[in-house]
């Protein structure tokens, strides 16, 4: 079964300094038909105006992934990440994947310190395997070359192939596709998939999709990506 949800069907919030599209119910946007998909709870496409950002606020019991498309995102948290000289400078740039495990509780802030450039990024939340985990942080860069014409593993519970480690039953892939480039991800019988088109256009299992669209697949043997036009995509392999 394949279900396409168009970009313009998402929730939207305009706070002036922040413009955000919500793939699932979030904050003031509530749609009982779109509360999440498997343990994928949030995909927010955010644009943060220059010199603004999210002040210090708290999270708990959630795996949070940030994926920057343009601009930069400066992160600081109660684990000590962010200040100069810290173990992680925590400035997230295009190509970076950042994971923050909120666990039993963490506070953080996220700012666009650029004076003129908007920061465009995806904020993704996954329900963890267990509650009360020790908070944690990880950040890695995945250059375009490793994603070009293929699905590169960027997040996994076992951190294989250099992926960041997430404490959730999910595997996350990123890919860039143009023209004849194509990729197939085989799915186990007890798995489903969520495809988020980050930008551009491509065909997912015969279904044409564009930037901001989502393709949800259940009871499918594989995810097939092809006919990309400037396409960037995230694919989530999740428990059915």
Q: State the pairing for strand pair 164-165/191-204.
A: unpaired
Residue 91 has pLDDT above 90, yes or no: yes
**Quick one: average pLDDT of 110-115?**
95
Please give the mean pLDDT across all residues of the chain: 97
The residue among 121, 234, 220, 125 whose CA lies nearest residue 173 is 234
**pLDDT band for position 86 (cuts 50, 70, 90):** confident
Task: Report the sign of the C-alpha dihedral through residues 43, 44, 50, 53, in that order.
Answer: negative
Confidence (pTM) = 0.97
What's the CA gap between 49 and 20, in Å, rounded? 11
* CA neighbours closer than 13 Å in the CB half-sphere of residue 35: 3
Q: Residue 214 pLDDT > 90, yes or no?
A: yes
Over residues 38-70, the pLDDT tens digits come to: 999 999 999 999 999 999 999 999 999 999 999
Distance CA 48, CA 142 (A): 23
d(CA 37, CA 43): 10
Indicate the burial class of 141 (C-beta count within 10 angstroms; 0-12, 13-18, 19 or more).
exposed
Alpha carbon distance 164, 79 (integer Å): 18
At 188, the pLDDT band (50, 70, 90 cuts) reads: very high
Please give the average per-residue pLDDT across 201-225, as a whole number: 98
* Residues 163 and 236: beta-carbon distance below 8 Å: no
Query: Residue 144 carries which DSSP code?
Result: H
C-alpha 95/C-alpha 219 separation (Å) is 31
For the purposes of burial, counting CB atoms within 10 Å of the CB of 121, is it exposed (0-12), middle (13-18) or buried (19 or more)? buried
- Per-residue pLDDT reduced to its tens digit, 157-184: 999 999 999 999 999 999 999 999 999 9
Interatomic CA distance for residues 240 and 35, integer angstroms: 15
Residue 84 is predicted with a pLDDT of 75
Q: How far apart are CA 173 and CA 154, in angstroms?
A: 5
Tell whether the model's pLDDT for residue 85 goes beyond 90.
no
**How high is the pLDDT of residue 39?**
98
Ordered by where they begin, the domains of the chain are: 2-239 (2.60.120.10)
Rounded to an integer, what is the distance from CA 221 to the centroid of its chain?
23
pLDDT of residue 90: 87
Tell how strand 164-165 and strand 151-156 pair up. Answer: parallel
CA neighbor of 216 nearest in space, from 3, 40, 43, 33: 3
- The confidence score (pLDDT) of residue 88 equals 76
Q: How many residues does the chain have?
A: 240
């Amino acid at each position: 079964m394949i279900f396409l949800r168009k970009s313009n069907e998402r929730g939207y919030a305009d706070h002036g300094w922040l413009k955000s599209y919500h793939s699932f119910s979030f904050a003031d946007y509530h749609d009982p038909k779109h509360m999440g998909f498997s343990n994928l709870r949030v995909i927010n496409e955010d644009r943060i105006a220059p010199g603004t950002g999210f002040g210090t606020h708290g999270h708990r019991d959630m795996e949070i992934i940030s994926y920057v498309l343009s601009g930069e995102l400066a992160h600081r948290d109660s684990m000590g990440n962010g200040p100069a000289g810290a173990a992680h400078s925590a400035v997230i740039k295009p190509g970076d994947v950042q994971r923050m495990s909120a666990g039993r509780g963490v506070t953080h802030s996220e700012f666009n310190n650029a004076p003129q450039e908007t920061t465009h990024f995806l904020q993704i939340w996954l329900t963890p395997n267990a509650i009360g985990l020790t908070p944690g942080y990880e950040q890695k860069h995945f250059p375009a070359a490793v994603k070009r014409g293929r699905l590169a593993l960027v997040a996994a519970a076992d951190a294989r192939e250099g992926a960041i480690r997430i404490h959730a039953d999910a595997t996350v892939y990123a890919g860039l596709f143009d023209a004849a480039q194509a990729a197939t991800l085989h799915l186990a019988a007890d798995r489903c998939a969520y495809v988020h088109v980050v930008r551009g256009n491509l065909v997912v299992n015969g279904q044409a999709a564009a930037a901001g669209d989502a393709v949800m697949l259940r009871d499918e043997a594989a995810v097939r990506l092809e006919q990309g036009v400037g396409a960037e995509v995230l694919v989530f392999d999740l428990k059915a």
